[in-house]
């Protein structure tokens, strides 16, 4: 029996994960067992910590994790270690989920939903491989006083070569499984962290003579993503740059409500989540698009559970639902979250 840890979290998380669970139950029947636990602001409010030990334990025991979103404005003034976001950061770190795959591909039916011109938008078909366990996210941070008595915030950016090497391998392997092109994004013209990143990526490239490697500064990459997204196949980058570029790529592909992600450890165990946040402004109103979470569930079947055929079926059903005209408000339509789930179920 395959155990799925279901961590809906905050805001729209419960609504969108509910639709993904309906799809999974329909496609996989009783092959999956779900066990749910609180996470994020919901967990803080229930038990005083955003990632309670029982939730972490479930995530460790499970074969895979389906995650909604965390983030709750009620918690914005808490000490940082108690904020909802620490739950997802803690899961990524504790489970050593260092390799984050964020595919951005435009469903042809959504060419008009992108803010890019349709002929540019329809070129986008890329994967961002984002490092998740290091960078400025996990460096020393704090508040201090300067010698002049000014308040100063600091967050240390660093990567060691082992961290860069393992994510570089993820990037090269992802490129091998696709069109064989890898673009490493850094800021080596300014940052030492990035200089090491670039040096190590070049060293690792010796193992992958079949992959065409290029390098791009992150500011240029942000520009190229909207100018000509079709030039990219796989992008490998650090935690912070990957966070920013993946939101941008999602809009190029139509909506942030469309992008799934997989966060994997070295053995393929993974946490699956939409790249969007908890969207507190529309929480509980059935306005959220569940497709990013449904597509994340498909990635879970493919990458962690060896059910590629079932994953294909879900992805095809999402395409068919869109082709039939199903649209939530983010895509210019008026379906509820549940109705969008129904449209996918009908297309299965």
Catalytic residues: 137, 187, 219, 243, 247
**70/121 with CB nearer ligand IPM:** 70
The minimum distance between CB 343 and ligand IPM, in angstroms, equals 26
Q: Taking CB positions, which residue lies at the least distance from ligand IPM?
A: 85
Beta strands at 151-155 and 141-145: parallel, antiparallel or unpaired: antiparallel
Q: How far apart are CA 327 and CA 96, in angstroms?
A: 36
Residues 225-264 that bind ligand IPM (CB under 6 A): 243
**69/264 with CB nearer Mg ion:** 69
The minimum distance between CB 273 and ligand IPM, in angstroms, equals 7
Our finding on whether 12 is near ligand IPM (CB under 6 A) is no
The minimum distance between CB 276 and Mg ion, in angstroms, equals 8
Looking at 19, 109, 186, 243, which residue binds Mg ion (CB under 5 A)? 243
| 267: phi then psi, degrees, rounded to nearest 5 | -105, 5
**89/300 with CB nearer Mg ion:** 89
Our finding on whether 275 is near ligand IPM (CB under 6 A) is yes
Residues 69-108 that bind ligand IPM (CB under 6 A): 70-71, 85, 88-89
Can you read off the two tokens belonging to residue 153? 């915030």
Q: Of these partners, ligand IPM, Mg ion, none, which one is at the site of residue 134 (CB under 5 to 8 Å by kind)?
A: none
Q: Of these partners, Mg ion, ligand IPM, none, which one is at the site of residue 88 (CB under 5 to 8 Å by kind)?
A: ligand IPM
Our finding on whether 62 is near ligand IPM (CB under 6 A) is no
**15/243 with CB nearer Mg ion:** 243
Query: Of 218-226, 240-248, 264-272, 297-305, which segment contacts Mg ion by CB under 5 A?
Result: 240-248
CB distance 321 to 269 below 8 Å: no
**208/241 with CB nearer ligand IPM:** 241
Closest to 139 in 3D by CA, of 240, 61, 224: 240
Beta strands at 270-274 and 260-264: parallel, antiparallel or unpaired: antiparallel
Query: Of 68-76, 237-245, 287-295, 313-321, which segment contacts Mg ion by CB under 5 A?
Result: 237-245
The minimum distance between CB 176 and ligand IPM, in angstroms, equals 25
The minimum distance between CB 341 and ligand IPM, in angstroms, equals 22
In the chain, the largest separation of any two C-alpha atoms, in whole Å, equals 65
The minimum distance between CB 89 and ligand IPM, in angstroms, equals 6
Binding mask 195-234 for Mg ion (x = CB under 5 A): ----------------------------------------
Residues 35-74 that bind Mg ion (CB under 5 A): none
* Residues in touch with ligand IPM (CB under 6 A): 70-71, 85, 88-89, 243, 275, 277
């Amino acid at each position: 029996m395959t155990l799925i840890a279901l961590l809906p979290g905050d805001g729209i998380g419960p609504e969108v994960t509910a639709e993904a669970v309906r799809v999974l139950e329909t496609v996989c029947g009783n092959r999956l067992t779900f066990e749910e636990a609180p996470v994020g602001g919901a967990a803080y409010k229930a038990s005083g910590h955003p990632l309670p030990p029982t939730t972490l334990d479930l995530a460790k025991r499970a074969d895979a994790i389906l995650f909604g979103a965390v983030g709750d404005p009620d918690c914005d003034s808490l000490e940082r270690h108690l904020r909802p976001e620490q739950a997802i950061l803690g899961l990524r770190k504790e489970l050593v989920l260092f390799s984050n795959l964020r595919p951005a591909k435009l469903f042809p039916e959504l060419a008009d939903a992108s803010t890019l011109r349709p002929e540019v938008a329809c070129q986008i078909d890329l994967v961002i491989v984002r490092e998740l366990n290091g960078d400025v996210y996990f460096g020393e941070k704090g508040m201090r006083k300067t010698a002049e008595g000014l308040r100063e915030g600091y967050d240390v950016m660093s990567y060691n070569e082992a961290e860069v090497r393992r994510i570089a391998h993820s990037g090269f392997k992802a490129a091998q499984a696709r069109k064989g092109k890898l673009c490493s994004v850094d800021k080596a013209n300014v940052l030492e962290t990035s200089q090491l990143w670039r040096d190590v990526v070049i060293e690792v490239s010796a193992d992958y003579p079949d992959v065409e490697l290029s390098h791009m500064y992150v500011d240029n990459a942000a520009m190229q993503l909207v100018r000509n997204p079709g030039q990219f196949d796989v992008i490998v980058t650090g935690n912070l740059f990957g966070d920013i570029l993946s939101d941008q790529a999602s809009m190029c592909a139509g909506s942030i409500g469309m992008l799934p992600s997989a966060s994997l450890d070295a053995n393929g165990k993974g946490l699956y989540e939409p790249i969007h946040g908890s969207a507190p402004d529309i929480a509980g109103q059935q306005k959220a698009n569940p497709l990013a979470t449904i597509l994340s569930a498909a990635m879970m079947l493919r990458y962690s559970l060896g059910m590629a055929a079932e994953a294909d079926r879900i992805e095809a059903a999402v395409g068919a639902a869109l082709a039939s005209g199903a649209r939530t408000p983010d895509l210019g339509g008026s379906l509820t979250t549940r109705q969008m789930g129904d449209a996918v179920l009908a297309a299965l």
